[in-house]
Chain A
Amino acid sequence: MQLHITPNDGVPIYLQIVSQVKHLVAAGRLAAGEELPAIRALAEQLVVNPNTIARAYLELEKAGLVVKRHGSGTYVSDEGSPLARRERIKILAQRGDALLAEARHLGIELDDVIKLLKQRHENLPSPEDHEK
């Protein structure tokens, strides 16, 4: 599990971990049933306080993304996939909000933004092209 922490970002470190784990699950880089690193091991790897990791894992558990199995460890929950879709949409919604805010600042109408998105979508190479 590869996470990247930016301590001097205003976002609390535990939230950085939470959102990155959600990303990894959404992107399928953490599969249902897969085990997350032990708190202490991840603390040493990321060089952050173990209490911060524990807090992040607790948040992930509350969100239903991971489950703790007694005496063993923390695993990506089986219900990971429907939640993953919700998370994917949530991530995209945030990007969308930023785009809409920017468009408003630049005085560009919503219709033009939609038109632009469609145009860009058509120019985008298809996944098959990408794999070649």
Chain B
Amino acid sequence: MKNNPPAQPENVIAITALTRRFGAKPAVDNVSLTVPRGRVFGLVGENGAGKTTLIKHLLGLLKAERGAVRVFGLDPVADPVGVLGRIGYLSENRDLPGWMRVDELLHYSQAFYPQWDAAYAEQLRGQFGLVAAARIKHLSRGELARAGLLVALAYRPELLLLDEPSSGLDPVVRRDILEAIIRTVADEGRTVFFSSHLLEEVERVADDVAMMVEGKIVLAGPLEEIKASHHQLTLRFDTPPPRPPTLAGALSVAGSGREWTVLCNGARPELATAAERLGARIVAERHPSLDEIFVARAGAKASVS
């Protein structure tokens, strides 16, 4: 197959206008997103925002009700073999067979993937401190996550897909997971898609970010652009305004009396002009963290709906 590679699509993942309802409530609501090859894509959102439902569509476990899902240019429902054999997947629930021993798990997984790298698997096992003879059901939460990660990595998949990989884990295991993401993308051409509610981790490793709130993507783009286009400005008024100031592009406003802090989205010069028009001076400003942007976005979304 390597001698005659098929034309590789630029985007490893392409989702177009995907909608999925459970009952009357849409779990995924008209979502479109693309993940270019060789990038780390972080999907952030609260529990129940629809992240796992979205990921299940990528794995072909759910059929698109409306819209289209393509992974490596293929439909994961129509061509599960063509898609799943190229994805390393770590689920939130780490559904591994409890009755197996660690070495049996490796042997068993090897059978599924022709390009399984036994030497690499063994190296990871040692590095992760997993005892070959240990039963899966006796592993700690952290060991279970490492075993799942090992299986996802050992055949060097083109796409590493991680659903809330850090959830409930201690910092040491979380670091293993982040390092795995870094190594995966450092090997040229490989791509990572992961969901998380730990925004500090997303800020560390993601190239691109999408924020999901109640099934909708409320913000998506390169992380640096998102951070550069959001400002937290503290406005000072000569006389206290009668009600919280409204600045174009404001996502959240907090304060009292003469000083108000506004988190907003927009170009810096325009924001300064807008503040001036309100009769305010900008006395402090900084770029907010992704966490602050997310909270403001989620809040803004909740207040309009």
| Residue ranges of A at the interface with B (Cβ–Cβ < 8 Å) | 5, 7-14, 39-40, 43-44, 47-51, 105
Contact = CB atoms under 8 A, between A and B. Distances in A.
Contacts of A7: 200-201, 203-204, 289
23 contacts: A5-B204, A7-B200, A7-B201, A7-B204, A7-B289, A8-B200, A9-B289, A10-B232, A11-B287, A12-B227, A12-B228, A40-B182, A40-B186, A43-B186, A47-B178, A47-B182, A47-B204, A48-B204, A50-B182, A50-B185, A51-B39, A51-B40, A51-B207
Nearest to B202: A7
A47 B286 contact: no
B296 interface: no
B179 A13 contact: no
Given A39-B186, A47-B179, 16 more contacts: A7-B200, A8-B199, A10-B227, A10-B232, A10-B288, A10-B289, A43-B186, A44-B182, A48-B182, A48-B205, A49-B40, A49-B185, A50-B182, A50-B185, A51-B185, A105-B283
Question: Which of A7, A11, A49, A105 has the most chain B CB atoms closer than 10 A to its own CB?
Answer: A49
Contacts, number: 60
B66 interface: no
A13 B182 contact: no
Interface of B: 39-40, 175, 178-179, 182-183, 185-186, 199-201, 203-207, 224, 227-228, 232, 283, 286-291
A6 to B, nearest CB: 9
A10 B207 contact: no
B291 A8 contact: yes
Nearest to A8: B289
A10 B290 CA distance: 8
B89 to A, nearest CB: 21
Nearest to B206: A49
Nearest to B38: A51
Contacts of A12: 224, 227-228, 287
B288 A49 contact: no
A69 to B, nearest CB: 21
Contacts of B228: 12
Nearest to A40: B186
Contacts of B224: 12, 14
B205 A49 contact: yes
B199 to A, nearest CB: 7
B182 A49 contact: yes
A49 B42 CA distance: 12
Given A7-B203, A13-B204, A51-B185, A44 B179 contact: yes
B94 to A, nearest CB: 22
A59 to B, nearest CB: 12
Contacts of B289: 7-10
Contacts of B183: 40, 44
Contacts of B227: 10, 12
A44 B183 CA distance: 8
B264 to A, nearest CB: 13
A106 to B, nearest CB: 13
Contact of A10 (B39, B40, B206, B287): B287
Q: Which 7 A-B pairs have the closest CB atoms?
A: A10-B287, A7-B203, A8-B289, A50-B186, A7-B204, A40-B186, A10-B286
Contacts of B39: 51
Nearest to A41: B186
A127 B103 CA distance: 61
Question: Which of A40, A43, A51 has the most chain B CB atoms closer than 10 A to its own CB?
Answer: A51
